[in-house]
Amino acid sequence: MTTARVWSVTSTTPTQADAVKLARATVGERLAAGAEITGPAISVFWHLGELGEGEEWRVILRTSAASRDALAARLAELHPWDSPEVSAAPMAWCAASYAEWIERTTARQRAAD
């Protein structure tokens, strides 16, 4: 079994502006090579002992296997919520040139450390 080279890391935010802020910060810091923002979406959830409903914006970031954990930590640090969704899924397949771009872009961040 091979390890995925590219990961999709997802979070949701209460506003479009929050989503853009997360995307700009993490892509600007080279923790992710790119981001997509979609929304609004209606979310139904259980929180603080009550059923809740609200509008959310989804941020999907593309990163390398080597940068995934640092990206997740940074998202949690920047996020406006105390317990935000930060989840990741390996990309089962993508073009080799795309994976190389992701790895090259996020490697620049690690090289600066």
Residue 3: the pLDDT is 86
Residue 21: the pLDDT is 98
Residue 108: the pLDDT is 74
Q: How many residues are present in the chain?
A: 113
Element spanning 103, H or E: helix 96-112
pLDDT in tens, the chain (113 residues): 458 999 999 999 999 999 999 999 999 999 999 999 999 999 999 989 999 999 999 999 999 999 999 999 999 999 999 999 999 999 999 999 999 999 999 997 655 55
What domains does the chain contain, in order, with CATH numbers? 6-112 (3.30.70.120)
Residue showing tokens 């959830």: 45
Residue 78: the pLDDT is 98
Beta bridge partners of 35: 61
Residue 113: the pLDDT is 52
C-alpha separations of 79 from 69, 95, 101 in Å: 15, 31, 26
Residue 27 is encoded by which pair of tokens? 């892509």
Q: How far is the C-alpha of 93 from the C-alpha of 79, rounded, in Å?
A: 29
